[in-house]
Amino acid sequence: MQLAEFFSSEPDQLWSLAKQMGVNYAVGPLPRELNGMKPWDYHNLLLMKQRFENNGIVLAVIESAPSTNLIKLGLPGRDEEIAVMQTLITNMGALGIPVLCYNFMAQFGWFRTSTSIRTRGEALVSGYDHSLMKDAPLTEAGIVEEDRLWDNLKYYLEKIVPTAEKAKVKLALHPDDPPISPIRGVSRILTSANALQRAIDLVPSEYSGITLCQGTLATAGEHIPSVISHFAEQNKIFFVHFRDVKGNAERFEETFHDDGKTDMFAAMKLYYKYGYQGPARPDHVPTMAGEDNKNPGYELLGRLFGVGYMKGLMEAAASNN
């Protein structure tokens, strides 16, 4: 398994701390637009990749994308957005960046009703309470039905999967977070392991698989070891978000990696049993003492805890196999 972290596109404190912790793989955003170069342009991506490599870090995943909301809603302009995604995938392939993490959440991405829930030792975590959204107004997209999203996802995959095959870039589809539908009138379709399976079966390819976000699927009520086995047997796990939660899709809160409802060691042992060799990163960490919570889920100290916890489980799982 490639122990990774989500980095900014330019060096900061985490770049140094990660190397000190033994993290050698990067999950990166798209770089900033630079001197007229778009974030998905070859040269801009090259410069970011080289920044990582010059710091001894391998860029393994891009986990951000240009705007794809017109694609998701099936609106005029979606083909132009698809063309941008095809350019990004092609350039990633040319540069040897092997995995693109993407989602199909229309109008808004991961969504929380609180980012300041107190957990163990007064650390702060995010959470979601669906009852607080029952009277929330519709977005400007109005009612967005599930069938419409499924049709648009198939159209999208028909366009980008052949590009990914040619570029040899793995498309790692992330489940909807929270895994509940609808929110503000917008349906969410990727809310279970079965839904993820349906999605990657729309346009079958060895380059179309999933980001196994343990926290999202645990929120959905899935048994994480069973989900790992199901997708690992198909070689469809391309990227792992290693995190945990308490609660369910109606109401949940995130946790320290050792304080949720999932048997995290059982999960780790299965990744090793099936020979998973792709990237995995700790995700959505608590904000700890002395931090200002300006970046909920991605402050620094919780990441150190998450990486250390993962390293311990990885060593134990490796010796167990």
| Tens digit of each residue's pLDDT (9 = 90 or more) over 15-52 | 999 999 999 999 999 999 988 899 999 999 999 999 99
Contact indicator for 99, 60 with CB cutoff of 8 Å: yes
321 has a pLDDT exceeding 90: no
Instruction: Provide the CATH number for the domain formed by 2-320 in this structure.
Output: 3.20.20.150
Please tell me whether residue 239 adopts helix, strand or coil conformation: strand
Q: Tell me, what's the pLDDT at 35?
A: 87
CB neighbourhood size of 194 (10 A): 11
Threshold 0.85, pTM exceeds: yes
Q: Are strands 58-62 and 99-102 parallel, antiparallel or unpaired?
A: parallel
pLDDT for 162-204, tens place per residue?
999 999 999 999 999 999 999 999 999 999 999 999 999 999 9
155 has a pLDDT exceeding 90: yes
115 has a pLDDT exceeding 80: yes
Residue 84: pLDDT band (50, 70, 90) is very high
127 has a pLDDT exceeding 90: yes
Tokens of residue 32, six digits? 């900033």
Strand order in the sheet with 251-254: 114-118, 124-129, 251-254, 245-247
